[in-house]
């Protein structure tokens, strides 16, 4: 009971939710790739693909490959994770309020999980 009290600041806020939402903000605002595939030999790069749900870059023989829809899909993924992080943060700060319940969910994990499963299935 003491741990629960501590983590919820005696029912006023949800500390784990706040930390989780801050982590989601960090993940969603980062442009670093989650998965990189490089090809080539003798130390030179023939191709490189660097992807995350929020960024994509592909290069072949030093020239970029552009798929026009991908930046928009990245933006959609980023916005949905930012929204999930924001609702989780608000719901966690106002954990004592009645309306905070629907704001807390695991929606923010959907994009990373789908992405990771896609990468595993693709490789």
Interface ranges with another protein (CB under 8 A)? 39-46, 60-69, 72-73, 75-76, 79-80, 82-84, 87, 98-99, 101-103, 105, 107
CB of residue 88 vs another protein: minimum separation in angstroms? 10
6 vs 101, which CB is nearer to another protein? 101
CA nearest neighbour of 96 among 26, 5, 3, 2: 5
Write down the least CB distance from residue 45 to another protein, Å: 6
- Name residues whose C-beta falls within 8 Å of residue 108's C-beta, 6 or more positions apart in sequence: 20, 21, 24, 81, 84, 85, 88
The contacts of residue 37 (CB under 8 Å, 6+ apart) are 47, 48, 49, 50
How far apart are CB 30 and another protein at their closest, in Å?
18
Residue number, 5 or 118, with CB nearest to another protein: 118
């Amino acid at each position: 009971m003491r741990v629960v009290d501590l983590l919820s600041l005696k029912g006023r806020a949800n500390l784990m939710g706040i930390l989780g939402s801050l982590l989601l903000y960090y993940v969603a605002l980062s442009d670093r790739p989650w998965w990189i595939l490089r090809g080539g030999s003798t130390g030179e790069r023939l191709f490189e693909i660097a992807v995350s749900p929020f960024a994509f870059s592909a290069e072949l023989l030093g020239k970029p490959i552009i798929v026009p829809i991908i930046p928009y899909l990245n933006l959609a993924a980023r916005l949905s994770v930012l929204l999930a992080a924001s609702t989780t943060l608000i719901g966690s700060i106002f954990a004592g309020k009645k309306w905070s319940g629907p704001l807390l969910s695991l929606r923010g994990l959907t994009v990373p999980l789908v992405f990771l499963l896609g990468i595993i299935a693709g490789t």
